[in-house]
Amino acid sequence: MTSKTSLPTRKNEFRQTFRWALRKNAGMTGLLAALLFVCLPMILLLALSSGERYAGPERTETVWRNGIATQYAGFLHAMIPVAAVSLLLLFSVVLCVRLFGYMQNRRSEDLFHALPVGRVPMLLGRWCAGMVALALPALGNFGVLALIALAYRIPLFAGGMYLGTALCWLLLMAAAAFTFLTFLSVCSGSVMDTILSALGVNVGFPAAVFLSQSLVRYTLPGAYNADRFNFAVLSLLAPFPAAYLPHVGEEPVWFLPWWICATAALLAGACLLYRRRRSESAEDRFAFAAPKIVIRFLLTACGGLGLGLAGMFMTGNIAMFLLLAAAGSLVAHTVVEAVYSRGFRGMKRSLRWYAIFAVCFAAFYGVLATGCFGFDTRVPDPSEVESISIDAAGFSSSGGSQVYRADHDTGLISGPPIPLEPVLKKPESIRAVLQFHRELVAKYRAEKYPYVPQQGYWGVFTLRYRLKNGSTLTRSFLDSSGFSEWMQEKEKPLLEMEEYRENNDMVFFLQPDDLLSVTVYSNNGNKGSEYLLGDGALRGELLDALRSEYDADRSSDGGLSLKVREPFRPDDRLREALGGYSGEVAVGEPSYSYRADGEVARVLKEIAEKEKVYGFVENTGPAG
């Protein structure tokens, strides 16, 4: 049935709906603005003014200004995710209920759907009013934050840039969350179901993906990803948790276009479905059943995988895994169905959906147990390989340095260390690694096939092949198989290769100019002496000495730690060893031990004679 109403009329209907909805929600807009003001500009002003008061007369203008700038930047990084994101998400729920709650009440539908206003202009007018009600308070308060920065003459890099990008992310993710709720409102028959569905997707999707990934990681040999879980993927369909990611530096490149497209698609979908929505579905369970089916599937998967994996890890028994997976999924299905149906009336009919889940789960597990179509046995041909990087965390003694993501504006270090993975390019190194990989695959096939979930220990051995066709192939093995001794014996020659050893620690990547000071500890003392490294030649000698004695048979007569310059951008070689990470990095005081009769000890003696003692520090324990 096509609309017989002209576009100008529709535009007028949209305008009237928008104005009215905006006016009716002016109070909510004001409340959000006030709450944001209290949480952001007001607390910031109080913090800055108290910092100013306690600055003391002895502090110089520059030191004071740097302190204020750091305080400002730190405040924004902490409070924008905590206060601004949380408040906007909360108000997106409140505004959605206020603006679209009429769809879920038969009496209110009698009024709204009888009005001479098309459904699409009505939905869009209300959606736009909701967006303005969310965006205006955020814009106003971020404007005040910018004015505060101007008033305190805080440089742009110390928060100004972040303020702009944070505002853009905030508005985009608020739009995504609000549109997501709008979509669910159109699909649901009651406010309760809208809220339950929103909760189901935002909790169920990340949990289901996390648990599925866990099953893959612990079952399929070579699929254990040594990296952290990808939070962006976990929140791919969950705008509420996703809203926090850009503020904690977890957004990949595709994150921005994905959420722009997802928001647009959700809005278009909401318009399309609203035109087809039956008014009589108000106060019913669902106008469109698809979200319920998806959410029930996700939560059933969570119940099954969660309980199954927990049972597996506790007992190590595959029968227990399957039994608990079946029990957990059935209980989750029953609970979700009972909650959605407000009882058990539709339970019997819903079991066909449980059967579909059971088939999907069996197929998924079957694919993993049989090696995922050759995933487990894929070893590239030597002619295909350009280079290989190895991450042997947990299997070999790591170097004495760790590299972190760093923010140049604030100097803040975020996240866990970035693993330093030595890159092997020599043909003999490549051949040796491929031989090891083939033997490992053969051992898995012979002893563990068909695969079952394995309990995890700490060791992870990751091989990243960069192939000549430009692609990469990663195989990551978890020390869960009882192969530890065999693996360590086989890995030893690999880890002792010169090419591996010389790329395994930051000491091989640092330049003499990178060193600022060295702190020397006695073998049994707690105090260390810090020497400023002013002499470039001595810095070079110290690095050479550390490299020559690196990973040697150390008797550990003493220890040292290096202080390295401010966050810097890695060069090509280091970037490759960091797995392609191109942002700024900070090296957290690398520590090494040395022999009393070695070259390092000689250079340290020379430093002690020539360089100025900067101070004494508590021994935090040099790495062996």
Partner 1 sequence: MIEARGLVKKFGEKTALDNMSFRIGGKSVFGLVGSNGAGKSTFLRTAAGIYRPDAGKLLIDGSEPFENSGVKGRVFFIPDYPYFLPQSNLAEMGSFLAAVYPRWDWKRFDALNRVFPLGEKTRISTMSKGMQRQAALICAFSARPDYILMDEIFDGLDPVMRQLLKRLVSEEVASRGVTVVIASHNLRELEDLCDHVGLFHKGGVVFEKDLDELRLGVCKVQAVFRPMPERSAFAPLNIVKWETRGSLVNFVARAGRDEVLAKLNTMNPVFAEALPLTLEEVFISEMEVAGYDIENILADAEK
Residues binding partner 1 (CB under 8 A): 1, 3-5, 9-10, 13, 16, 19-20, 24, 105, 107-111, 113-119, 275, 278-280
Write down the residue that tokens 């769809």 correspond to.
Answer: 103
Whole-angstrom Cα Rg for the chain: 30
For residue 36, the minimal CB distance to partner 1 (Å) is 25
Is 284 or 514 the residue whose CB approaches partner 1 more closely? Answer: 284
Is 275 or 575 the residue whose CB approaches partner 1 more closely? Answer: 275
Contact call for residues 539 and 513 (beta carbons, < 8 A): yes
Give the whole-angstrom CA distance, residue 352 versus residue 327. Answer: 16
Tokens of 435: 């031989």
Is 24 or 563 the residue whose CB approaches partner 1 more closely? Answer: 24
Give the whole-angstrom CA distance, residue 129 versus residue 100. Answer: 11
Give the whole-angstrom CA distance, residue 363 versus residue 368. Answer: 9
Give the whole-angstrom CA distance, residue 297 versus residue 356. Answer: 9
For residue 130, the minimal CB distance to partner 1 (Å) is 16
Is 14 or 142 the residue whose CB approaches partner 1 more closely? Answer: 14
Is 77 or 292 the residue whose CB approaches partner 1 more closely? Answer: 292
For residue 29, the minimal CB distance to partner 1 (Å) is 17
For residue 9, the minimal CB distance to partner 1 (Å) is 6
**Coil vs helix vs strand at 451:** coil
Is 6 or 383 the residue whose CB approaches partner 1 more closely? Answer: 6
- CA 424 → CA 431, 499, 509, distances in Å? 10, 6, 15
Is 118 or 159 the residue whose CB approaches partner 1 more closely? Answer: 118
Task: List all residues 6 or more positions away from 408 whose beta carbon is below 8 Å from its beta carbon.
Answer: 157, 567, 584
Strand partners, 387: 466
Give the whole-angstrom CA distance, residue 420 versus residue 435. Answer: 23
Tokens of 110: 């009698």
For residue 115, the minimal CB distance to partner 1 (Å) is 5
The alpha helices in 556-598, defined as continuous H runs, are 572-577
Tokens of 536: 């470039």
For residue 2, the minimal CB distance to partner 1 (Å) is 8
For residue 283, the minimal CB distance to partner 1 (Å) is 12
SS3 of 190-229: CHHHHHHHHHHHHHHHHHHHHHHHHHHHHHCCCECCCCCC
- CA 231 → CA 204, 248, 435, distances in Å? 14, 11, 34
Half-sphere exposure (CA, 13 Å, Cβ side) for 476? Answer: 19
Give the whole-angstrom CA distance, residue 128 versus residue 116. Answer: 19
Is 279 or 414 the residue whose CB approaches partner 1 more closely? Answer: 279
Is 113 or 378 the residue whose CB approaches partner 1 more closely? Answer: 113
For residue 127, the minimal CB distance to partner 1 (Å) is 18
**Of 331, 398, 347, nearest to 551 (Cα)?**
398
Is 1 or 537 the residue whose CB approaches partner 1 more closely? Answer: 1
Is 4 or 153 the residue whose CB approaches partner 1 more closely? Answer: 4
For residue 87, the minimal CB distance to partner 1 (Å) is 23
For residue 17, the minimal CB distance to partner 1 (Å) is 8
Is 3 or 472 the residue whose CB approaches partner 1 more closely? Answer: 3
For residue 126, the minimal CB distance to partner 1 (Å) is 13
For residue 342, the minimal CB distance to partner 1 (Å) is 17
**Coil vs helix vs strand at 615:** strand
Q: What are phi and psi of 563, to 5 degrees?
A: -105, 125
Longest dimension (CA), the chain: 94
SS3 of 285-299: CECCCHHHHHHHHHH
Give the whole-angstrom CA distance, residue 25 versus residue 526. Answer: 64
Tokens of 606: 């020379």
Tokens of 538: 């001595």
Is 268 or 360 the residue whose CB approaches partner 1 more closely? Answer: 268
Is 109 or 549 the residue whose CB approaches partner 1 more closely? Answer: 109
**Of 568, 570, 517, nearest to 411 (Cα)?**
568
**Coil vs helix vs strand at 614:** strand
For residue 282, the minimal CB distance to partner 1 (Å) is 10
Is 46 or 290 the residue whose CB approaches partner 1 more closely? Answer: 290
For residue 73, the minimal CB distance to partner 1 (Å) is 44
Strand positions, DSSP E, 218-326: none
For residue 27, the minimal CB distance to partner 1 (Å) is 10
Which DSSP state fits 283? T
Contact call for residues 450 and 417 (beta carbons, < 8 A): no
